[in-house]
Structure 1
Amino acid sequence: MTSQDAPRRATIADVARTAGVATSTASVVFSGKAKVAPATRERVLAAAADLGYAGPDPRAASLRRGRSGIVAVVLEGHLRTAFLDPVSTALMDGLTDGLADLSAGILLMRDEPGDDGASLVNAPVDAVVLIGCSGRTRASLDIVRGRGLPVVVIEGDAGEGIPRVTLDNADASADVARHVRDLGHHDVALVTLPLDNDRERGIVTPERLASATIDVTIDRLSGMREVFPDAPAVSASGSFIDEGLAVGRELLADESSRPTAILAQSDLLAVGVIRAAEELGLRVPEDLSVAGFDGVDVDGLGGLVLTTSVQPAVEKGRAAGEQVARMLRGEDAVTLHLTCRFRQGTTTAPPSR
């Protein structure tokens, strides 16, 4: 299709005409610089939706005002829990480093529908970084692409042409699992991150796995089951110590069927499992081996050093920031693949039985 054949992008004037209001009124609805009667606002937004108008063209705004100097970062789930995970903090540190040459500010947004999702339509940002690409973040991706903004996705499949920063989640998880198998463990259970946006805690059935949407969880589980194909798995509602504690209690409750090792998809979940074992009087690693994933500093391990796969979280964020900077300089961005490093700690040992 040639540029002459391509459909014309709807303008604010088209929206105003369809809604039966003045162009200035329609502009105010999108800018938010003045109050508009609720009925008028709804009429304008309905007309915009019908015409596929996603908001002011950021390229035109750039010509008028220059760049905003802001990069939006869309996080999965609630912002109030986003930085309870040290991985998120390290990633944001790296992202800030990667954007340092731009002196850009960072606007944190969430992938939930509603007010925050709507603000992505007209937020005054120069580029967007999406953390993961589940169902909700794909909706955010559609908005960003409609605006023509540069976008980078961290650990998620965003489709053709979108630069990504990926991690060897499957291979790294398999490395941890092989270590546990080589120690002699056969009765192994798995604790996964959430499977989808519902973030339900529960047994990972074939049906739930078939409908899973979070790539990180799927990939890490694939690596674990490459080594332990029949290992039972339970999904946590998030990467929290309390979630690991709850799932650990569930997996260790029946003495007759207790696993000799539990592999968790994050270090925080692994620490929770260790606490559940301690509640039952089990010793780690003598009675139960536990391994995690991430390689972060976690309190509550006493003298233990967690066996885990150390991911380059800071480098992951820095790589995303650098690709954003490249695109804003008019250069082509590239997809980068990073690798993890296995670290043997003192929380795994041969089974006692």
Structure 2
Amino acid sequence: MSTRRATIADVAREAGVSGSTASVVFSGKTPVSDATRRRVLDAAALLGYTGPDPRAASLRSGRSGIVGVVFEEHLGTAFQDPVKILMMDGLTDGVAPLGAGLLLLRDQAAVGDTPAALAPTLTTAPLDAAVLIGCSGLLRESLAVVKARGIPVVVIEGDAGEGVPQIRLDNGVAQKHAALHLRGLGHTDVVVLTLPIDKRRTRGWIAPDAEITVDVTRDRLEGARDVYPEAPAYAAAGSSIDEGLAAGRILFSRGTTPPTAVIAQSDLLAAGVIRAAEEAGLRVPQDVSVTGFDGIVVDGLAPYLLTTLVQEPADKGRAAGRAIAAMLEGRPAASMLFTCVFRAGNTTAEASARR
């Protein structure tokens, strides 16, 4: 009994069409009639043909069909963040015309010499291109590896230097808008709750001379301090409701005078701050106003509608995918700056309303 794998030629012969017609049914590059498509697919099913051999396609094109996506944090943590999930949806759309798939990788420095290093890495995986999610100090090593391999690279929310396309938000300008909103409401006692400031992801008050190596965190903090230069800032270890709750418990702890407003650098952090305020017997927004950043849907936040900055993460991912496609096709890929939209919700009110 023969175990030879059926070929496209076998399918064409069985369907009574030319080899080129059978090929385009599977590639989708040229339209064919519904009747012809049905005939070819029925023949393929009969012969057990599941599509072109990807190894042969890779040899012909000289590409692997794989785009690496590098995260600084553990993937489980990354995919608890709705912003990153939406961004990945957009990135998948952006590389779809290439027929490429995504390979999710940890940062090169984070992998190190642990047993996980036996898994595919930026050094060993057969990649056509790479997308770095952020470009903090921890991701610099990954950037160096990609550049050494000579493959196209795009950075989302980070500065990788000249020659590397960047897909970014107007983080500083947007955060300043939220701060101006609070100042217009009469708030003077304001605290900024930030995203992680460095690779250690240490929680705590940020010293005036602290070096902030995460671009998004630094830009948003600078935007807030354009309006509130003396505002104290507290660093969370990540973007989550639990991190916001833990930080809020510090801000609203007994024996301290709570701030009249908190500028949180993500909606998830803001949601945690609101929970902490309620635990402490404070009313939002009568006693404390809270702003977020992202414009995502946070489950269980009702009846609150966050005052926040709305971004479109899927658009950022899509733009990164299109930049990769352009570079692989030998076309220039420009950096892009997306603009956030301020949305006033019911989590902010005049400072004088506090009693």
Amino acid at match of 1:174: K
Question: What SS does the corresponding residue of 1:152 show, helix, strand or coil?
Answer: strand
1:6 matched residue in structure 2: none
Give the C-alpha shift of residue 76 in structure 1: 1.4
1:205 matched residue in structure 2: 207
Question: What SS does the corresponding residue of 2:111 show, helix, strand or coil?
Answer: coil
Question: What SS does the corresponding residue of 1:170 show, helix, strand or coil?
Answer: helix
Give the C-alpha shift of residue 122 in structure 1: 1.9
Cα distance in 1 for residues equivalent to 2:342 and 2:236: 23
Aligned: 1:110 with 2:112: no
Q: What whole-Å deviation, never above 9, does each CA across 1:190-231 have from its counterpart, x for those lacking one?
A: 1000000000000010232xx221000000000011111111
2:231 matched residue in structure 1: 231
Return the match for 2:62 from 63, 66, 71. Answer: 66
1:125 matched residue in structure 2: 127
Amino acid at match of 1:335: S
Return the match for 1:157 from 139, 156, 159. Answer: 159
Cα distance in 1 for residues equivalent to 2:348 and 2:281: 17
| CA 1:284–1:217: 2 relative to 1, 3 Å | same
Question: Which is higher, the Rg of structure 1 or of structure 2?
Answer: 2
302-311 or 246-255: bigger deviation: 246-255
Cα distance in 1 for residues equivalent to 2:227 and 2:321: 35
* Ranges of 4+ aligned residues in structure 1 off by more than 6 Å: 62-65
1:97 matched residue in structure 2: 93
Question: What SS does the corresponding residue of 2:229 show, helix, strand or coil?
Answer: coil
Question: What SS does the corresponding residue of 2:283 show, helix, strand or coil?
Answer: coil
Give the C-alpha shift of residue 256 in structure 1: 4.6
1:248 matched residue in structure 2: 248
Overall identity of the aligned pairs, in %: 59
- Unpaired runs of at least 5, structure 2: 1-57
Q: What whole-Å deviation, never above 9, does each CA across 1:104-128 have from its counterpart, x for those lacking one?
A: 1100011113245972112111100
Aligned residue runs from structure 1 range 7-18, under 5 A:
none
Amino acid at match of 1:67: R
Cα distance in 2 for residues equivalent to 1:71 and 1:163: 15
252-261 or 220-229: bigger deviation: 252-261
- Unpaired runs of at least 5, structure 1: 1-61
Cα distance in 1 for residues equivalent to 2:61 and 2:167: 31
Question: What SS does the corresponding residue of 1:121 show, helix, strand or coil?
Answer: coil
Instruction: Give the conservation status (yes or no) of the 8 Å contact 1:167–1:338.
Output: yes
Query: Aligned pair count?
Result: 290
Amino acid at match of 1:79: L
Give the C-alpha shift of residue 333 in structure 1: 1.1
2:217 matched residue in structure 1: 217
Cα distance in 1 for residues equivalent to 2:263 and 2:168: 22
2:260 matched residue in structure 1: 260
Give the C-alpha shift of residue 80 in structure 1: 1.3
Cα distance in 2 for residues equivalent to 1:239 and 1:82: 9
1:4 matched residue in structure 2: none
TM-score, scaled to structure 1: 0.80
Q: What whole-Å deviation, never above 9, does each CA across 1:299-337 have from its counterpart, x for those lacking one?
A: 121211000001121110000000001111111111111
Question: What SS does the corresponding residue of 1:324 show, helix, strand or coil?
Answer: helix
TM-score, scaled to structure 2: 0.79
Cα distance in 2 for residues equivalent to 1:141 and 1:225: 30
Q: What whole-Å deviation, never above 9, does each CA across 1:276-306 have from its counterpart, x for those lacking one?
A: 0111121111111111000000012121100
Cα distance in 2 for residues equivalent to 1:291 and 1:93: 26
Amino acid at match of 2:185: L
Cα distance in 2 for residues equivalent to 1:152 and 1:191: 28
1:19 matched residue in structure 2: none
Cα distance in 2 for residues equivalent to 1:207 and 1:108: 35
Amino acid at match of 1:212: I
Amino acid at match of 1:173: Q
Cα distance in 1 for residues equivalent to 2:227 and 2:300: 29
Give the C-alpha shift of residue 255 in structure 1: 5.3
| CA 1:254–1:233: 2 relative to 1, 3 Å | farther
Aligned residue runs from structure 1 range 292-311, under 5 A:
292-311=292-311
Instruction: Give the conservation status (yes or no) of the 8 Å contact 1:113–1:136.
Output: no
Aligned residue runs from structure 1 range 278-317, under 5 A:
278-317=278-317
